[in-house]
Amino acid sequence: MVFSHGLGGTKNAYSHLLGSLSSHGVVVIAPEHRDGSAPLSCIHEKRGSVSRHVEYRSISHRQSPEVEKARDEQLKIRLWELGLVHEALLKIDRGEPLTNLLSEESADASGHLAMFASSLDVHTAGSISWAGHSFGAASIVQFVKSVFYHKAQSAVSSHQRLFDPSTSSQVAHQITPSSAVYLLDLWCLPLLSKHTRWLHDLPLPSYSSEGPGGRNITAILSEAFFKWGNNLIELKRTISEDPSLGTPVNKSHPAPYVFYPVSSAHLSQSDFGVLFPWLTKRALKAQDPARTLRLNTRAILEVMRRNGIEVANTSSVDMEEATTDGHIPQGQLGQDLSILKGDGSVPGWIALDLASSGHVDEAANERTSENADPMDAVVQGEMTKTSSG
């Protein structure tokens, strides 16, 4: 799995979630983007070059031509970096030496990477999963669609390709209708630029004729993003079989998995809530951030299982399965059958429907969204930048 961080995030900001996935056998790569979305990124000295820093770029969260241009510039960097990550994974699996490691760590790093030689399932088409949080989720949507539709011709003269791989490239071979995507609090504004709108209106690869439809698309929202009505509508369009329609529906394909844990904040998807539970509860009104991350992990792992990806079973402790006497048996493992049911069997875990008829709370959400500040949810992401100094 390749995971893209959000605004104010870093490669280390999701260690709880990604470490949990890794503990079940998923090899996770979390790059740090150098597009000005991290609090501070260091580009280290290499072969005599001067070390430099990429500082955070403060860009408005409200749509305008200037904001669209700035976000397109950031996405262009992010997509290029995701392509580089894919190239590096192929080299690591082939046992080829990497030449861009820090000189003082290159020997140790090369040794650590050598253990992955001939061990990564990265050459099989569709074998890599793609995931991200917030701006990172938008980056993943833009990346997989840019690669999958690289041969398609736009009828819009103003359309720009932010990432344009060649047909013979390995990444073009990798992204297929079976490529799974996991989107945590997808922030849709970066996908709405007029220069990339043509691509936005095309469905995710899994909706092609040979794809599984929504079965390998998972979107998990925080309650903050669920209550952001306009973004919720755009998210549903983005993960539907026809994003160009005003009303998102899935008539010809299975629907994607869409959930939100109650009493969760945007930063509940990262380590922030686990590290600062008191602040998360008081300032963001979020409860039990560790459980939110466990629920997210359970859902991602179960979708992987149902799509034929071999991962370790979820423990009965994480599944919160108690016996008749209320005791949770320690150490027992099993397939997580309840997490994707959406029938209320997992407390505080709400399933959503693309047509806004899957849960009663959606109607109330649509009525109150106009009174909420739609930027509150995204601005939370900048708190990590502030807290990092």
Please, are residues 132 and 183 in contact by the beta-carbon 8 Å criterion?
yes
Query: Between residues 106 and 205, which one has the greater pLDDT?
Result: 205
Percent above pLDDT 70 for the chain: 83
Q: Is the pLDDT of residue 365 over 90?
A: no
Three-class SS state of 321: coil
Percent above pLDDT 90 for the chain: 60
Residues 302-359 pLDDT 10s:
999 999 999 999 988 888 875 555 555 555 556 788 999 888 889 999 999 887 644 4
Quote the pLDDT of residue 162: 93
Rounded average pLDDT over 367-387: 44
Q: Is the pLDDT of residue 68 over 70?
A: yes
Q: How far apart are CA 298 and CA 341, in angstroms?
A: 12
Quote the pLDDT of residue 285: 86
Radius of gyration of the chain (CA): 20
Q: How far is CA 63 from CA 67, 185, 192, 267, 374, in A?
A: 6, 18, 9, 22, 12
Q: Could you tell me the pTM of the whole model?
A: 0.89
Average pLDDT of the chain? Answer: 85
Rama region for 15: left / alpha / beta (φ>0; ψ in -120 to 50; rest): alpha
Q: How far apart are CA 20 and CA 52, in angstroms?
A: 33
Residues 145-173 pLDDT 10s:
999 999 877 666 678 899 999 888 999 99
Quote the pLDDT of residue 342: 84
DSSP 347: T
Quote the pLDDT of residue 362: 46
Residues 192-244 pLDDT 10s:
999 999 999 999 999 998 899 999 999 999 998 999 989 999 999 999 999 99
Half-sphere exposure in the Cβ direction for 241 (13 Å, CA): 16
